[in-house]
Amino acid sequence: MPFILQPSQHDSFHADGFVVVDDLISPDKIPMLHRAYDDLFSGQFETGVRPDEVNWQQGESDPTLSRQICNGWKANREIARIVLDESLAKAIGTLAGWSGVRIMIDNVIWKAPATRSLGFHQDNAFLSWFKPGEIITCWIALDDTTADGGTIEFARASHQWALGTPEGEFHAPVDYRKPMREAAARAGVEPEISYVEVKAGGGSFHHGRTWHGSGANPGPNPRRSLVLHAMRRDVEYVSANFDQGIGPVYSRYKRLGDNQLDENYFPVLWSEDGYRTAQIDDYLS
| For residue 50, pLDDT beyond 80 | yes
DSSP reduced 3-state for 30: helix
Say what percent of the chain tops pLDDT 70: 97
User: Is the pLDDT higher at 257 or at 267?
Assistant: 267
Residue 256's pLDDT is: 86
Read off the pLDDT band of 266 (50, 70, 90). Answer: very high
| For residue 1, pLDDT beyond 80 | no
Average pLDDT, the chain: 95
d(CA 268, CA 270): 6
Sequential DSSP letters for 56-95: --TTTS-TTSPEEEE-GGGT-HHHHHHHT-HHHHHHHHHH
Read off the pLDDT band of 231 (50, 70, 90). Answer: very high
Question: What tens digit of pLDDT does each residue of 144-165 get?
Answer: 999 999 999 999 999 999 999 8
Report pTM. Answer: 0.96
Rounded to 10°, the helix 7-16/86-96 angle is 60
CA 20: distance to chain centroid? 14
> Could you give the dihedral angle defined by the CA atoms of residues 202, 205, 209 and 214, in that order, rounded to the nearest 10 degrees?
0
d(CA 267, CA 284): 13
Which of 83-92, 189-198, 239-248 comes out lowest in average pLDDT?
Answer: 239-248
What is the fold, at CATH topology level, of the domain defined by 7-275?
A: Jelly Rolls (2.60.120)
Read off the pLDDT band of 204 (50, 70, 90). Answer: very high
Q: What residue ranges do the domains of the chain occupy?
A: 7-275
d(CA 70, CA 259): 22
Residue 128's pLDDT is: 86
